Structure 1
Amino acid sequence: MRKRRASAAAKAVGVDGMLITHLPDVRYLCGFTGSNAVLVLMGGRATLFTDGRYTIQARAEATGTKVVITRKGAVIAACEWMEAGGMKRCGFDSAHTTVASLETMRKAVSAKVRRGMFVAVGSIVAGLREVKDADEINLIRTAALVGCDLFDGMLTYLEAGLTETEVAATLEYAARLAGAEGMSFDTIVASGERSALPHGRATRAKLPKQGFVTLDFGVILDGYCSDMTRTVHLGKASPDERDVYDSVLEAQEAAVAAVAPGVTAGEVDEAARSVLRRVKLDKYFSHSTGHGVGLEIHEGPRLAAKQTQVLQQGMVITIEPGVYMPGRFGLRIEDMVLVTANGGEVLTPSVKAWVEL
């Protein structure tokens, strides 16, 4: 079904087939999980090119797909095969094809077809991946719940004096024990003044006796990512810290409530931003409200100001407004949300209410 949809999309933009080089797209279309492969869609058929390391794996994983093991290099072998098969116009994803790769593709075919063979068609497969099927949703839901369990466990562990790297290592070790293949991205642990860094990856800095600790992390299960952020406070908070937290939580919940099929990504962003604007905190919200999640931690759609893409049932997105005050503190609250026929379903139900440890 996925390969048929991709082939139909290629035909709709006027190409004979596609050369798929982005590995998450390869996995999505045929199931192959190796680190070196390209997939050709041509004439209603799918052919995977990879090297000898993956002979057994490719034939086991690449369902409904012909497998070609080559010593030439997967891209070169695929291009030669396409020319021999009569392909005249091959679509490629310009977002994931470097200038050097395109040159390799062109050199792999003869001069008589080189000029018009390769056509940039945009990220067709990535667009298809934005709407998840039932199996994908179940995998993402499971990964998200593992993340929730990890956070709940961290609440019994966090204390002043631990280093941020100790916290990250403990969380990541627990993730592995829970069955995670790895983390979706470098774990963010940002405490005290460092909590004002939106992407404050863990350092040797020690958690303060009084101050915020932001944990932003995700796990990979069966190839699918989770992503969540929670911010807690160590010690007694100031009234200002509590007020800012309550405002971010209100903004986050307003954006979650705005999620529905037919709503634009920009409208969801505005639902969060308008709350912070009302309390004059919007200037401290320095990034977009969210993004899609799936086989990659950052997928479409992008939830940002003036984005006109319409949400569709089956999309999985993040809602993650934050406030970051340099030299003082920062915080973020993030959920994964499934777009359903009835609105948004939160996939990360861990506590978001104020937590003071």
Structure 2
Amino acid sequence: MDFRARKKRAAVAVAAAGVDGLLVTHLPDVRYLCGFTGSSAALVLARGGATLFTDGRYTAQAKAEAKGTRVVIAKKPAVAAACEWMETAGIRRCGFDAAQTTVAVLESMRKAVSSGVRRGMFVSVGSLIARLREVKDSDEITLMRSAANLGCRLFDGMLDYLEPGLTEVAVAAELEHAARLAGAEAMSFETIVASGERSALPHGRASTVKLPKRGFVTLDFGVVLDGYCSDMTRTVHLGRALEGEREVYDAVLEAQEAAVAAVRPGVTSGDVDEAARSVLRRAGLDKYFSHSTGHGVGLEIHEGPRLAAKQTQVLEQGMVITIEPGVYMQGKFGLRIEDMVLVTATSGEVLTPSVKAWIEL
């Protein structure tokens, strides 16, 4: 990872925001900028450099991971130590990300500096680092390809495992066990397994309900490799489909593929959302599509950009997004199809190429 280049880009953003420095406390942002993965950290970007504050539990880890970054092992909370250091260093306007800073943390920041500099020192400058993280570099894309490929292999393996009578939690446990054996350090989020009528729940976390003899089974899951997340959803059908079920599946698949085809630099996230939504609208199913079409993925499972109706953010080469339209008919069934897609120089590249065609087990 080229942490030096990342910190240079961050320094440019900090200067453009009109502040003397930036206090970074959101752990994924800290990791992005310097590589540190501990649970206690505050990173200060100022005076042309970066200083990481953490506690004694991470003395060896911080020095090993935060290459090219000055490390301070603090005897008090990292945020307070960072603020005290900034006052001593003469920083009088410190930017922070209000979206990742609680009222309590902001109050502790103010208490850590003297009353003479407290007023006006801390300035909300928006999510500067999160915005930089939206566009992935080549190292990140390599890691995300690996995570996405592992997810595809896991899904392919589950096709031989799924059968009526298994509980949803058993299915989730089997998938997660296989993921860890294959090298995943964690799951990206709590695995979703929703079957039968429960497939109409967009976020139907695995329950003790048994898979039906006939009906949809939706699997939505992701793995973490070297800190980077994958995310994919596939829906299969157990037994012979009833009238209308295959038609709904085909409509969702068409919507998903239309949105993937719409991905390229320069289009808005709202344009991609509309590409999916318009297909479902023509099929009379748009009222059953109750969430946005997708989101960014990276060090966190949900990052920018958000792909939803009327969103105006422009897609850029290097972004990794999800495309995941669905239809949810309460009391009947639901289904979703989701891919991770890399925005290339000219189009979108699907990173999760597992089969999406109708599967009847």
TM-score normalised over the length of structure 1: 1.00
Q: Deviations over 1:56-107 (max 9, x none)?
A: 0000000110000011110010000000000010000000000000000000
1:318 aligns with 2:322: yes
Shift of the alpha carbon at 1:356? Answer: 0.2
Q: Deviations over 1:103-153 (max 9, x none)?
A: 000000000000010000010000000000000000000000000000000
1:129 aligns with 2:129: no
- Tell me what 1:235 maps to: 239
- Tell me what 1:215 maps to: 219
- Tell me what 2:6 maps to: 2
- Tell me what 1:16 maps to: 20
**Which residue of 304, 309, 325 corresponds with 1:300?**
304
Shift of the alpha carbon at 1:239? Answer: 2.5
What one-letter code is carried by the residue in structure 1 that aligns with 2:105?
Answer: S
What SS does structure 2 have at the residue aligned with 1:116?
coil
Q: Deviations over 1:201-234 (max 9, x none)?
A: 0000000000000000000000000000000000
1:291 aligns with 2:291: no
What SS does structure 1 have at the residue aligned with 2:343?
strand
Taking the aligned partners of 2:17 and 2:56, their CA distance within structure 1 comes to: 34
- Tell me what 1:169 maps to: 173
Shift of the alpha carbon at 1:299? Answer: 0.2
- Tell me what 2:265 maps to: 261
- Tell me what 2:82 maps to: 78
What one-letter code is carried by the residue in structure 2 that aligns with 1:252?
Answer: Q
- Any gaps of 5 or more consecutive residues in structure 2? none
What one-letter code is carried by the residue in structure 2 that aligns with 1:327?
Answer: G
- Tell me what 1:248 maps to: 252
Shift of the alpha carbon at 1:28? Answer: 0.1
What one-letter code is carried by the residue in structure 2 that aligns with 1:167?
Answer: V
1:59 aligns with 2:88: no
Taking the aligned partners of 1:100 and 1:11, their CA distance within structure 2 comes to: 27
What SS does structure 1 have at the residue aligned with 2:244?
helix
Superposed counterparts of 1:35-114, under 5 Å: 35-114=39-118
What one-letter code is carried by the residue in structure 2 that aligns with 1:122?
Answer: G
- Tell me what 2:200 maps to: 196
Taking the aligned partners of 1:11 and 1:116, their CA distance within structure 2 comes to: 17
Taking the aligned partners of 1:151 and 1:69, their CA distance within structure 2 comes to: 44
Shift of the alpha carbon at 1:4? Answer: 1.1
Taking the aligned partners of 1:239 and 1:250, their CA distance within structure 2 comes to: 19
The aligned length equals 357
Shift of the alpha carbon at 1:250? Answer: 0.2
Taking the aligned partners of 2:250 and 2:327, their CA distance within structure 1 comes to: 11
Taking the aligned partners of 1:239 and 1:114, their CA distance within structure 2 comes to: 67
Q: Deviations over 1:8-52 (max 9, x none)?
A: 101101100100000000000000001110100010110000000
1:350 aligns with 2:349: no
- Tell me what 2:33 maps to: 29
Identity level (%): 80
Taking the aligned partners of 1:338 and 1:74, their CA distance within structure 2 comes to: 36
Taking the aligned partners of 1:76 and 1:342, their CA distance within structure 2 comes to: 46
What SS does structure 2 have at the residue aligned with 1:239?
coil
Shift of the alpha carbon at 1:287? Answer: 0.2
Structure 1 runs, 4 residues or longer, greater than 3 Å off: none
What SS does structure 1 have at the residue aligned with 2:358?
coil
What SS does structure 2 have at the residue aligned with 1:311?
coil
Taking the aligned partners of 1:47 and 1:139, their CA distance within structure 2 comes to: 26
What one-letter code is carried by the residue in structure 2 that aligns with 1:234?
Answer: L
TM-score normalised over the length of structure 2: 0.99
What SS does structure 2 have at the residue aligned with 1:79?
helix
Taking the aligned partners of 2:330 and 2:233, their CA distance within structure 1 comes to: 19
Taking the aligned partners of 1:339 and 1:279, their CA distance within structure 2 comes to: 28
What SS does structure 2 have at the residue aligned with 1:143?
helix
Q: Deviations over 1:242-263 (max 9, x none)?
A: 0000000000000000000001
What SS does structure 2 have at the residue aligned with 1:300?
strand
- Any gaps of 5 or more consecutive residues in structure 1? none
What SS does structure 1 have at the residue aligned with 2:172?
helix
